[in-house]
Structure 1
Amino acid sequence: MKRIPFILFIILLALPGFTASAQSKKGGGGSSGHNTGIGLRGGGYSSGLTVKHFVGSGKGVAIEGLLTTEYKARGIRLTVLGEKHHGVADVKGLQFYYGAGFHAGSYQGRYYFADERYYYKGRKGDRYLVREYRADEETYVAFGADLILGLEYKLTDLPFVVAVDYKPFFDVFNGYTGFYNDAAVSLRFTF
């Protein structure tokens, strides 16, 4: 089971090489002058690797792949997003982007809150509430849909991009559904 994340990592790193196109650095796929970026994404809900590749010639359309793990669960998730980039006026290298995509992954163990109510008759009819926290060790397959909204800045004269994004997602796992909010900062090396 530990080989699967390693294999996905290798595939994600090799992906830009398979889809590379013959474009110069100044006329790259993105309006900030780069075609591909590989780096790290750290967020409030999940962190991991990020790979973004601009497709087409100057259209501002990118495909981003995220290989992340959550802080509260042991597991891995692969997310693929299609994004549309727009330059921000008067700021060279700054882009606003939005997009959507999907994800799939597996998690081992859940930590959740069980709201079990125990009522006791006290003086003046008082009621007391007892809450319980539970954890399990099952493996769950999860999949769902994602949205993304962000700002990206290509550092001048350096091959790095700094990005800030908000990525809400809808998750389906073990017959349950959930809506989560994830905000993150990314740093990518561009070429």
Structure 2
Amino acid sequence: MKHVQFTLLFIFLLLGLTANAQSKKKSGGGGGNGSSGYGTGIGLRGGGYSSGLTVKHFLGSKNGVALEALLTTEYKARGVRLTVLGEKHKAISDIKGLAFYYGAGFHAGSYQGRYYFADTRYYYKGRKGDVYLVRDYRFDEETYVAFGADLILGLEYKLEDLPFALSVDYKPFFDVFNGYTGFYNDAAVSLRFTF
């Protein structure tokens, strides 16, 4: 499996270097749309709650607005989630290729199995009335649908001579899961091949 990953990375690198060299010849400089330095990026996202694939595409030529789609799975969950985000990128003028971005979106997914508290019991022992709390954790195998809203805040760096963009983001989200609601904090690192 590692050989396949390294081979794919090597192929992406070669294709990117070739495409980057051709775009510099055609345009006389660095290609790409807007302040991002690229038009579309495809890659991997590794985070606390969700990890998977990421695709980011910039709309227009100079406005810095992008759509990002995430196809991810949650830690210890069997299922998948699709997240769509609208993002606004603002270039940081001191460092070429570095941009701050923020945005919002929504997600929907399906998961099999969940942990829950089935029972809470209290035990009293001794003359002093010591109290012991026991919670009974259970796991079920049913499939559940989840949906909710997301926010995102991050930093992205487009490598100047290579067709890659590296980003770090904080993505809190509100989730509705089988009648329960929750607010979760997620952070991730993404690496995208850009063209």
TM-score above 0.5, yes or no: yes
Question: Aligned residue for 1:53?
Answer: 57
Counterpart for residue 146 of structure 2: 142
Q: What pairs with 1:125-164 in structure 2 (closer than 5 Å)?
A: 125-164=129-168
Give the TM-score of the pair, scaled to structure 1: 0.83
2-side partners of 1:122 and 1:129: how far apart? 15
Whether the 8 Å CA contact 1:107–1:141 is kept in 2: the answer is yes
Q: How many residues align?
A: 169
**1:3-46 Cα shifts (integer Å, max 9, x gaps):** xxxxxxxxxxxxxxxxxxxx998463331320000000000111
- Residue identity opposite 2:150 in structure 1: D
Report the residue type matching 1:187 in the other structure.
L
Cα distance in 2 for residues equivalent to 1:157 and 1:32? 14
Deviations for 1:48-89, whole angstroms, at most 9, x for unmatched residues?
A: 000000001110000000000011210000000000000112
Residue 105 of structure 1, aligned match among 95, 104, 109 = 109
2:180 alignment partner AA: Y
Offset at residue 117 of structure 1 (A): 2.9
Q: Where do 1:109-128 residues align within 5 Å?
A: 109-114=113-118, 116-128=120-132
Bigger radius of gyration among the two: 2
TM-score by length of 2: 0.82
Structure with a larger share of its residues in helix: 2
Kindly state the Cα deviation for residue 118 of structure 1 after the two structures are TM-superposed. 1.6
- CA contact under 8 A between 2:36 and 2:89: conserved in structure 1? no
Report the counterpart of residue 3 of structure 1 in structure 2: none
Instruction: Determine if contact 1:78/1:103 at 8 Å carries over to the other structure.
Output: yes
Checking the alignment, whether the CA contact within 8 Å between 2:36 and 2:64 is kept in structure 1 is: no
Deviates more, 1:72-81 or 1:29-38: 29-38
Instruction: Name which of 182, 186, 189 aligns with 2:190.
Output: 186
Q: Do the aligned residues in 2 keep the contact of 1:146 with 1:168 (CA within 8 Å)? A: yes
Q: Which residue of 2 aligns with 1:93?
A: 97
CA separation in 2, counterparts of 1:158 and 1:165?
21
For residues 86-116 of structure 1, give each alpha carbon's deviation from its aligned partner in whole angstroms, at most 9, with x where no partner exists: 0112100000000000000100000234561
The structure with the greater share of residues assigned to strand is 2
Q: Say what the alpha-carbon RMSD is for the aligned residues.
A: 1.8
Unpaired segments of 5 or more residues in structure 2?
A: 1-26
Contact kept? 1:72, 1:111, Cα under 8 Å: no
> Where do 5+ consecutive residues of structure 1 fail to align?
1-22
Q: Which residue of 2 aligns with 1:28?
A: 32
